[in-house]
Amino acid sequence: MKILIPTKLDQAAAATLTTAGYNVVQDDTTPLAELAAANPDTAGIIVRSEKVTPDIIDALPQLKCIIRAGAGYDNIDYVYARTKNIDVMNTPGANSNAVAEEVIAMILAAYRFLIPGDTTTRAGEWNKKKYMGKELTGKTVGILGLGNIGRLLVRRLQGFECKILGYDHFLSKQRALNIGATPSSLDEIFSTADIISIHVPGGPSTRGMINAELINKMKDGAMLINCARYGVVDEDALRAAKAAGKKILYATDVHPKDTAAQQPSADVADVMLPHLGANTREANKKAALQAARQMEAYFDHGDITCVINAEKPADLNPAHLQLAALLGKLASCVGSNKPIRRIECTFYNNLRSYRKWFTPWILEGTVPGAEHGLMPAAAEASLREHGIVFVAREPMDDKLYDDALTIDLFMEDDGEQKKASVRGMVVDGQPVVSRIDVFDHLYAGLNGNTLVLRYKDRPGVIATIGQELSQAGINIENIVAPRDAESGDSLAFVKTNQPVTEHQTTSIAQAIDASLAFSMSV
């Protein structure tokens, strides 16, 4: 069986696979298209940054598996690969230590003027007085995101006797303490830390996360490090803060594209690298070995644990999977997006047979920034990594709900447990919510733009909501407003023709004295 490695990957991958009896072709100089044309009998391919396009996939008719030796896999058209029954994998965690060490290197480089010191000394200058540095030992370091990289960074910094503050919305306080970080809010970290290192996922949920408000809280002389994703830091806000006289050090190795170009961070960064985080011999070897072992396990034992584009059972309605993600997102909003500690799900009727396939979708709905397309086992592992207990319950015999799904979230709110519960089903091919907490018989669509408000029931509230939306130029497409007799509360589930902004939601909530108010758009 032939395995193609069209990249400069450590020879450990080829050696491992060759020893296992595979025919390995490794060539990092010939263009991938030419290699594919010359090796049409390829069954597996291992790449790093090479783009695996539909044309490449079509040129390899016997291809069964593509492995990205690294975490990200945007360079692979995994959707098209699925149409050809090709499984795509990544090697999560292989590069974590390399990134953690890069952060330490960036801190020391900035603190001790290593880059300008080297350049000016080579030029014959002697700027010893000019380059008065700082020591890392004893500094307060804030780490945003306590995943694989964040945890390794904690361990590396402990040798410098640093005070470590950690922010991870989805990690319990005790778990953060066990890792070695003091659980802290973003405000605390940006107000007190000498160094702040970012290790959160990319995507819409974190774009612009480090905004002007947080940047302006930073102490003069503090350092901000972005080895996560380009766009997490609002560099325009950072640029404005520096122009206004704020003394902040900024180090980054993430850019819009990994290519030779004038990078937009050039004028604002004090240390800037060409995405070198994973670029170590050790990380390369670790990713190579991991990729080779996954390839071997895939073909020899049918192991699909790390597949990110898994094919779902043919008779499982995709609308039910979308329902799980939307209900998860809805439940998180009902719970005011507090840190989740436990998820309990009940699958009714025919859905019971497929319940493991819902786990990745529930993960995506409840944990913003979570990896998409994971296999069930990997999704369960991700939930555990976030400190979330996941339970699939058996339905009660006396409850008969067609093909329905209930999601209960148990959240941590200032040391107390809070519960949010939702139930839904698919009606005419569309995901529908039937219950939110005590409010039953909703049967409202989850797609589109939704405004949810809980308030004390009294005359005129619906009219006020309508008036507020009308003044904002927003039309109501549908509204359901059940009442709970025991609490005397009503819940308005409002579908609108356009998104309701956070500011507009707050304004309406104040106008009707709502105890719960949020909007979501799908």
pLDDT tens digit sequence for 373-419? 677 877 888 888 788 899 988 787 556 668 899 999 999 877 778 99
Burial of 332 (0-12, 13-18, 19+ CB in 10 A): buried
Q: At the topology level of CATH, where does 96-272 sit?
A: Rossmann fold (3.40.50)
CA 481 to chain centre: 34
Domain 2-93+281-301 matches domain 96-272 at the CATH topology level = yes
CATH match for 448-522 among 3.40.50.2300, 3.30.70.260, 3.40.50.360, 3.40.50.1000? 3.30.70.260
Token pair belonging to 403? 């093909």
Q: What is the CA 97 to chain-centroid distance, rounded?
A: 19
DSSP string, 372-421: SS--HHHHHHHHHHTT-EEEEEPPPTT---TTEEEEEEEEEETTEEEEEE
Query: Which of 334, 368, 361 is closest to 345 using CA atoms?
Result: 361
Tokens encoding 404:
């329905």
Q: Which range has highest mean pLDDT (31-45, 203-217, 313-327)?
A: 31-45
Report angle CA 90, 96, 97 to the nearest 5 degrees: 140
What distance in Å separates the CA atoms of residue 257 and residue 275, rounded to the nearest whole number?
Answer: 10
**312-446: in CATH 3.30.1330.90:** yes
Q: Residue 407 and residue 22: Cα distance in Å, rounded?
A: 46
d(CA 197, CA 237): 17
Mention the CATH class of domain 2-93+281-301: alpha beta
* Residue extents of the structural domains in the chain: 2-93+281-301, 96-272, 312-446, 448-522
For residue 361, give both structure tokens.
Answer: 């979708």
Q: How many beta carbons lie within 10 A of that of residue 314, not counting itself?
A: 5
Strands 483-484, 271-272: pairing kind: unpaired
Task: Please choose, from the candidates 336, 323, 395, 319, the residue with its C-alpha nearest in 3D space to the C-alpha of residue 362.
Answer: 323
Read off the pLDDT band of 235 (50, 70, 90). very high
- Provide the percentage of residues in the chain whose pLDDT is more than 70: 97
Residue 430 has pLDDT above 80, yes or no: yes
Integer angstrom CA distances of residue 306 from 123, 220, 280, 374: 51, 44, 23, 7
**How many C-beta atoms surround the C-beta of residue 440 within 10 A?**
12
What tens digit of pLDDT does each residue of 443-470 get?
A: 999 999 999 999 999 999 999 999 999 9
What's the pTM value of the predicted model, to 2 decimals? 0.71
Strands 489-496 and 483-484: antiparallel
Indicate the residue type of 269: A
pLDDT at 140 (0 to 100): 98
The 3-state DSSP class for residue 14 equals helix
